[in-house]
Amino acid sequence: MTSTFPGPAQSGLSVVIPCFNEADNVEPSYREITNELGHYSLEMFYVDDGSSDGTLEVIRSLAATDPRVRYLSFSRNFGFEAAFSAGYRYATKPWILHVDADQQFPAAEAEKLIEAAGQGNDAVFGVRTNRQDPRLRRWGTAAFHFLGRRVLRIEIPPGATAFRLVRAELARKIVDLRLGTPYFLATVPRLTSRYTCVQVAHRARERGESKVGFGFLASHAIELFVGFTRRLTTAASATALFAAGLGVLAAGAATFGLLGASASAALLFALLSVVLVVLSLTVRYLVVVGAGQPRPRQFYVREANVLVDAADRLFTPEDPAGPRLIDVHLGKGVTA
């Protein structure tokens, strides 16, 4: 595979680091990234997802001493997808490296992604070879990939994680789609076939606690299963029609005394369970459809040291109470 587009080793990269209550991890992540990747043309883009601890203060102090540090701070917690989407939208380098603040993926492993990108790939995903997470979390991920890829036939890079290197233009196109159920891993294959996965090391979290719980993972999986394939809803519809036909036959059999009372009751409860399952899937599908309707922006920015699109700001330039946003390219301050 060949490509005329220069790789990150030649053109530079933006390292996007989403943060939510990661005050203890911001500075260590900064040191590791600069030590391991500082020889590249580098930008470090921290996105504070409405943290309630000292995360923003630490980021501000880094930005005050290192012009390579850019940041956005949300007006509230908008979630992981919104945090990295904002970083992808405002990153300035041709390539984007996504690194979580918890440092479970060593920054040095990015060299493997960079090498694969140089071979003509538009996106490269890291795959954990020695995952250092609780067993239940590992089992959940395995089940997710089995159901998504094998059962529902959704094209997802096998074993892919958030540790990834993506052409910035591609990342921004995905973010700007404003999908009702955004799912980056499943959207990349819909836009390009030039992606790959590479094995990378993984380590246990040393500081703080994971913000990704079972509830988030389950909800995210359901959004993928409903929003990126029709197989589930098609199967539900077929099952509902079969149950309806069976119910009609059972009603006729009961009328003519061919079905006893106990058998009729058992069949009734079985059909009711089928109806409830189909109803739950239908409701979830309607939620997905509703999410695609006009709605607020994916995130709103309260503070930044980069110039932010007016539509993404919480305050307008006419509001004197708003914070100042700095256009680092022009060196001018504007009131946001």
Residue with structure tokens 């891993």? 185
> How far, in Å, CA of 274 to CA of 281, rounded?
11
Quickly state the pLDDT bin for 213 (edges 50, 70, 90). low
* Closest alpha carbon to 126 in 69, 194, 202, 51: 202
Calculate what percentage of the chain has a pLDDT beyond 90.
42
By the 10 Å C-beta count (0-12 exposed, 13-18 middle, 19+ buried), 247 is classed as middle
pLDDT at 314: 81
Q: At what angle do helices 23-37 and 55-65 cross, to 10 degrees?
A: 30
Q: What is the pLDDT of residues 62-111, one digit of tens each?
A: 999 999 999 999 999 998 889 999 999 999 999 999 999 988 899 999 99
Q: Once rounded to an integer, what is the mean pLDDT over residues 265-292?
A: 66
Length of the chain: 336
H or E segment and range at residue 4: none
Cα–chain center distance at 301: 19
Q: Which amino acid is at 119?
A: Q
> How far, in Å, CA of 1 to CA of 43, rounded?
28
Q: Once rounded to an integer, what is the mean pLDDT over residues 302-318?
A: 83
Mean pLDDT of the residues in the chain: 80
pLDDT at 138: 65
> How far, in Å, CA of 81 to CA of 318, rounded?
30
Quickly state the pLDDT bin for 191 (edges 50, 70, 90). very high
Interacting residues of 70 by C-beta distance below 8 A, sequence separation 6+: 43, 44, 45, 46, 63, 90, 92, 304, 305, 306, 328
> How far, in Å, CA of 231 to CA of 12, rounded?
41
By the 10 Å C-beta count (0-12 exposed, 13-18 middle, 19+ buried), 92 is classed as middle
Positions of E strands within the chain? 13-19, 42-48, 69-74, 95-98, 123-128, 164-167, 195-200, 301-304, 324-327, 332-335
pLDDT of residue 120 exceeding 50: yes
pLDDT at 197: 95
Contact in structure between 205 and 133 (CB atoms under 8 Å) = no
Half-sphere exposure of 184 (CA within 13 A, CB side): 26
